[in-house]
Structure 1
Amino acid sequence: MRAHPHAVRAVFLLMGFYLLGTALLTACAVATYVLFLWAPVISSIPLILAVPVLRGLFVLRVPTGTRPGLPLTEAEEPRLWHTVRELAERVGTDPPSEIVLTADPGASVTEDARFLLPVPGTRRLHLGLPLLLGLDEAQVRAVLAHELGHYAHHDTRLVSLTVRGRTQVLRTIQHSESFAHWRRKKAVDGHLRKAAKAAARGRTRKRRKHLRRVVLLRRYSGTSLRMLIRLYTAYGNHYLRSTLALSRRQEYAADRAAARITGRAATVSALREVPVLETAHEQYLRGYALMGVEAGLLPPHGEVFGGFGALLAARAPELAALRTGPPRSAPSPYDSHPPVADRIDRIRELPADAPGDEDARPATALLSDPGRTARALEDVALAADLRGLPRAAGWPELLHHTMEHGARRSTSALRRALAAHTGGPATSTALLAVIDAGGLDALAERLPVPAGEAPDPRGAAYGALHDMFLAELTERNLVRWEFSWQRAARPLLVHPVAGSDDGAAALASAVTAAVARPPDTAPLRLLLAHAAAGR
């Protein structure tokens, strides 16, 4: 089998790392011998520098970067497998051995290549469920053709080589920085202790000797460390720029393969859409799927990942603004992928093609049962500590428990301050009594001031009071939280006040009156009494 030129270059770059390390170890050995003969005081410095080099050279394990996922068999998902096989044949490569569904909004291919040899291995196609939920079939076919193009160009066989080189160079630099700094500090501290003991015993000569060693260690070990780090950094920069430039060329080639097979329009559309899905997915995880983790609650089974489709449907107008075009950015020699705008421009420069894939059906049609698949993915992709959490009956229940937990936690500082101020239980009744007695300023001074902010007792008091009474209304089920895929949650009074169920507005007005000068707690008392009476 003829070696691929990119593979040969990757091997030589990796060999250069080992040759550099061997040369440094030889230099350390020679320097140690010479210094031992002529300057024994600093003869240990080369040995100190040799340790991180040795550790970097013999880090043989390469991180695999595997992601938890759900293997999809051909019997379970025949349509998806048929699509992948068809595209692989058209691209001109063998299909993957496995298709693994992941929870990430992306797709990738891997190959278990032999150690340092670009020979075929087990192929895996990783496909993110968010892509199937957010793209149509034509776009997903373009994504799949792009990834299969990496197989056709033998890109995946080089990953172990390039990752090994990056990992070992970076780890050697890190070891050089951390170990040499620790070893030098230990040696300096030891000589300082010996100098202090010598001074205590009146041995001036020994004290000067140890202090001289401290000066030499600080001067020469620091210089040697900087030289070593600069040397490895220079090689690391060369290695990164070379291998990442290769990665960018591979992306362009895979784009051309996708455009040739599925058409320029579908390929450009997929390139525009994937960054939008990545942004929306991050917001979905943070604001919806994982919002109840601190409260010890998860969405219904299958909705942790499957609910992303509902967010996309509800926020279609908002997401449409992001599809106008990716922002243009200057390419960096340290990027593994070219800018999306540049990739789109190159695809448009390709010769006109025949009409490509125009299937606008949701890509979930490639799955036999999307709901079942989403539930099965949760069982393998969620961390073990999350899988054991109880499930909410629905999104509104999850939101209510999450907001109740957050409100309760945010009032802990006020409750502690109130208990210390009154010497009794920290209840809303006690708080209103303190305000009526004119003790709000004294109570506010007990509240912690956020780092970097100027003290604002009244502002802190407003926020604390608002959170405490909101927590009480939530705990007593006098407020229900309105769940929405389109906007932030808002509290609604279960029993409206004066024809309005806007709990946020009513509570804000009542708390503003309570922290005014002079304070007026009547609106707060009325709100609590009205809500309780209505129940």
Structure 2
Amino acid sequence: MGATLRALRALVLLACFHLLGLALLTALGALDWAAHRWAPAGWALKLYVVSFLLAVPVVRGMLLLRTPRDEGVAGVPVTDAEEPRLWAAVRDLAALVGTRAPDEIRLTADMNAAVTEDARLLGLLGGTRRLYLGLPLVAGLTEARLRAVLAHELGHYGHFDTRLSGIAERCRAHVARTVDRFEEKSGHTIAKERARQEKRSAKRVARGRSAREVDTTGVGFTYRAMARVYTAYGRFSMRATQSDARRQELAADLAAARIAGRDATASALRALPALDDAHAFYLSSYATLGVEFGMLPPRGEVFGGVRRLLDARAEEPAGAGAALPVEPVSPYDSHPPTAERVAALEALPDDGRGSERPRPALDLFDSPEAASVRVEDATLAPEALLMRRLDWPDLVHEAMTARYVQDTEPVRAALKTAPADSGPAALLDAFLDAVDSGTAWDVVGGLPRSEEAAAATGRAAREFARSSLRRELARLVTAALASDGRARWQLSWSGPASLRLAVGRTGALDEALDAAISERSDTGPLRELLATTA
């Protein structure tokens, strides 16, 4: 479908939204007229009020004139003087695509790249073009793959996708805003009715009568019904445009293959799902490891540090041979399945550009470290920027230690003999004393248990308790040793963090723990081991 027909369809969908609003207003007016003619005055007055309340969100949705513009995208603009090689590469690719280069390049903290255009007159006139480029994405790609990604995004400019998307975006904004209004009204009505019923129930209880169950069934139904009407239209308009949106993605893929090469484009698509998973894992397991305790990695490493994980696990986000995820595709997804896109690319004739020497995409940046710092400063919340910064080895050690110390608090609460302000070492001594006296089983029994453990009886219950005792004892030992500096958590980019004890002590520690929880518990080996590591 050509740009003119796509624009016409988008305009028709937008016009139909307004026609839907007029139809609903007409229906409400007809109900009011019928009530005026035939309904009792009291009922007619109530219907007038309901009609007015329903009409307000409809009218406000129809009068929404401004389309939101990149309000939710955080990015740092980078100038030609700051990153000349990046700008030169983008301009060269835009010339090869046959389109105008973006006016701005904004660096983001996302594993993504995207383009927008502030088109005017519903897309009839072009406007400011912006390219959003995620630094984590750059860190995970070779230069050839990054060029393929950029060529794909610039291809959307060449096909007028970003300009015409303004009309569709306005329609979506109209629908979403109207649905939000109705749902907000429905929620307010339900809350008001709940408060009224709870107040009446409290009065009944004060008079010595039984309270009535709060029932808001049916409250706010009219608002929800109106919201469903607009939601249904929103789904219809999205499905009407999604097939074309998917064709746009395939066309942009072909443009990228023509410019950056078939193999580079296909391998970039293959790598993206694995890179996305690696980025999510990095954020949860490394970058935010110490956030709960007020600690962050060094400046520039919160988002930029993902390159360390990717370098250490280079074989995991594979390239040309990576398996593609098989997921059901939503009818509202604007992108075709990745497997379909890769298959279409790999079916193209070999263009002879598959043997180029891979270079890191970060080579296009003069100073990726400085860019990471700027993105971090612009993206993190103010309270996060005030957190303590530690080098990676110290961050892993201190965060893991703090987490283990925190996890010993349930034992402290259950162990009545442990002082509230004692450290992990004192708490461990108190727990070992409880093991010697046989009261540790009662302490462990007071800790949270799984449903299976809670339901167990006899020997099975004893085994569950023994396992729990060993776990809590090992946790206390770890917290005590790490807090006192007798053990240290070791950073690893290729696997989980590990606790490093004195040479040859790990096996002895396991044996000492087993002896402490045996049928004839003996804490002597463990106490001796703890004393020798001091």
Range of TM-score over shorter length = 0.7 to 0.9
2:477 pairs with 1:469: yes
Q: Within 5 Å, which residues of 2 pair with 1:24-173?
A: 24-35=24-35, 37-38=38-39, 40-41=42-43, 43=47, 44-54=49-59, 56-58=61-63, 60=65, 62-63=67-68, 64-114=70-120, 116-173=122-179
Alpha-carbon distance between aligned partners in 2 of 1:101 and 1:248, rounded to the nearest angstrom: 26
SS of equivalent residue, structure 2 residue 115: strand
Alpha-carbon distance between aligned partners in 1 of 2:525 and 2:129, rounded to the nearest angstrom: 67
Question: Structure 2 counterpart of 1:411, which letter?
Answer: T
CA 89–458 in structure 1, closer or farther in 2 if over 3 Å, else same? same
* Deviation of the 1:192 alpha carbon: 10
2:406 pairs with 1:409: yes
CA 230–507 in structure 1, closer or farther in 2 if over 3 Å, else same? same
Q: What does the per-residue CA deviation read over 1:100-120, in whole Å, with 9 as the maximum and x for residues that have no partner?
A: 122212211111122534321
Question: Structure 1 counterpart of 2:185, which letter?
Answer: F
What's 2:210 paired with?
none
Report the more deviating stretch, 116-125 or 469-478. 116-125
Contact 1:48/1:183 (<8 A) preserved = no
Contact 1:276/1:323 (<8 A) preserved = no
* Deviation of the 1:271 alpha carbon: 1.1
Unmatched tracts of structure 2, length 5 or more:
208-213, 456-463
SS of equivalent residue, structure 1 residue 326: coil
Contact 1:291/1:402 (<8 A) preserved = yes
CA 61–459 in structure 1, closer or farther in 2 if over 3 Å, else same? farther
Contact 2:76/2:375 (<8 A) preserved = yes
Contact 1:62/1:164 (<8 A) preserved = yes
Alpha-carbon distance between aligned partners in 2 of 1:467 and 1:56, rounded to the nearest angstrom: 57
Contact 2:140/2:307 (<8 A) preserved = yes
What's 1:491 paired with?
499
Q: Within 5 Å, which residues of 2 pair with 1:309-388?
A: 309-320=307-318, 323-350=321-348, 353=351, 355=353, 358-388=356-386
Alpha-carbon distance between aligned partners in 2 of 1:452 and 1:428, rounded to the nearest angstrom: 28
Unmatched tracts of structure 1, length 5 or more:
202-213
SS of equivalent residue, structure 2 residue 389: coil
Question: Structure 1 counterpart of 2:241, which letter?
Answer: T
Question: Structure 1 counterpart of 2:19, which letter?
Answer: L
Report the more deviating stretch, 480-489 or 309-318. 309-318
* Deviation of the 1:171 alpha carbon: 4.1
SS of equivalent residue, structure 2 residue 105: strand
Q: TM-score, normalised by structure 2?
A: 0.85
What's 1:431 paired with?
431
Alpha-carbon distance between aligned partners in 2 of 1:188 and 1:416, rounded to the nearest angstrom: 39
SS of equivalent residue, structure 2 residue 116: strand
Report the more deviating stretch, 301-310 or 482-491. 301-310
2:482 pairs with 1:481: no
* Deviation of the 1:56 alpha carbon: 4.0
Contact 1:137/1:362 (<8 A) preserved = yes
Alpha-carbon distance between aligned partners in 2 of 1:115 and 1:221, rounded to the nearest angstrom: 38
CA 322–289 in structure 1, closer or farther in 2 if over 3 Å, else same? farther
* Deviation of the 1:193 alpha carbon: 7.8
Alpha-carbon distance between aligned partners in 2 of 1:129 and 1:188, rounded to the nearest angstrom: 49
Alpha-carbon distance between aligned partners in 2 of 1:189 and 1:326, rounded to the nearest angstrom: 52
2:440 pairs with 1:440: yes
2:257 to 256, 259, 266: 259
* Deviation of the 1:353 alpha carbon: 4.0
* Deviation of the 1:423 alpha carbon: 9.5
What's 1:286 paired with?
284
* Deviation of the 1:164 alpha carbon: 3.0
What's 2:527 paired with?
525
Question: Structure 1 counterpart of 2:304, which letter?
Answer: G
Q: TM-score, normalised by structure 1?
A: 0.85
What's 2:459 paired with?
none
What's 1:206 paired with?
none
CA 35–487 in structure 1, closer or farther in 2 if over 3 Å, else same? same
Question: Structure 2 counterpart of 1:50, which letter?
Answer: A
SS of equivalent residue, structure 2 residue 81: coil
What's 2:392 paired with?
395
* Deviation of the 1:60 alpha carbon: 5.0
Report the more deviating stretch, 106-115 or 379-388. 379-388
Alpha-carbon distance between aligned partners in 2 of 1:508 and 1:343, rounded to the nearest angstrom: 52
Alpha-carbon distance between aligned partners in 1 of 2:303 and 2:251, rounded to the nearest angstrom: 32
* Deviation of the 1:163 alpha carbon: 2.8
What's 1:10 paired with?
10
* Deviation of the 1:17 alpha carbon: 1.5
Question: Structure 2 counterpart of 1:480, which letter?
Answer: R
What's 1:306 paired with?
304
SS of equivalent residue, structure 1 residue 108: strand
SS of equivalent residue, structure 1 residue 463: helix
Contact 1:514/1:520 (<8 A) preserved = yes
* Deviation of the 1:255 alpha carbon: 0.7
SS of equivalent residue, structure 1 residue 294: helix
Question: Structure 1 counterpart of 2:342, which letter?
Answer: I
Question: Structure 1 counterpart of 2:238, which letter?
Answer: L
What's 1:205 paired with?
none
* Deviation of the 1:55 alpha carbon: 5.0
Question: Structure 2 counterpart of 1:247, which letter?
Answer: A
Report the more deviating stretch, 516-525 or 289-298. 516-525
Q: What does the per-residue CA deviation read over 1:45-101, in whole Å, with 9 as the maximum and x for residues that have no partner?
A: 444543543454455554435432232211122211111111111110011111112
Contact 2:104/2:130 (<8 A) preserved = yes
CA 168–266 in structure 1, closer or farther in 2 if over 3 Å, else same? same
Q: What does the per-residue CA deviation read over 1:31-56, in whole Å, with 9 as the maximum and x for residues that have no partner?
A: 24433651534624444543543454
Question: Structure 2 counterpart of 1:243, which letter?
Answer: T
* Deviation of the 1:11 alpha carbon: 2.1
Q: What does the per-residue CA deviation read over 1:200-257, in whole Å, with 9 as the maximum and x for residues that have no partner?
A: 99xxxxxxxxxxxx99x966974x4564344223212211112322321211111111
Question: Structure 1 counterpart of 2:18, which letter?
Answer: Y
Aligned-pair identity in percent equals: 44
Alpha-carbon distance between aligned partners in 2 of 1:416 and 1:195, rounded to the nearest angstrom: 39
Contact 1:99/1:125 (<8 A) preserved = yes
Question: Structure 2 counterpart of 1:180, which letter?
Answer: S
Report the more deviating stretch, 459-468 or 268-277. 459-468
Q: What does the per-residue CA deviation read over 1:268-318, in whole Å, with 9 as the maximum and x for residues that have no partner?
A: 121112222111111111111221212222222232233222211211233
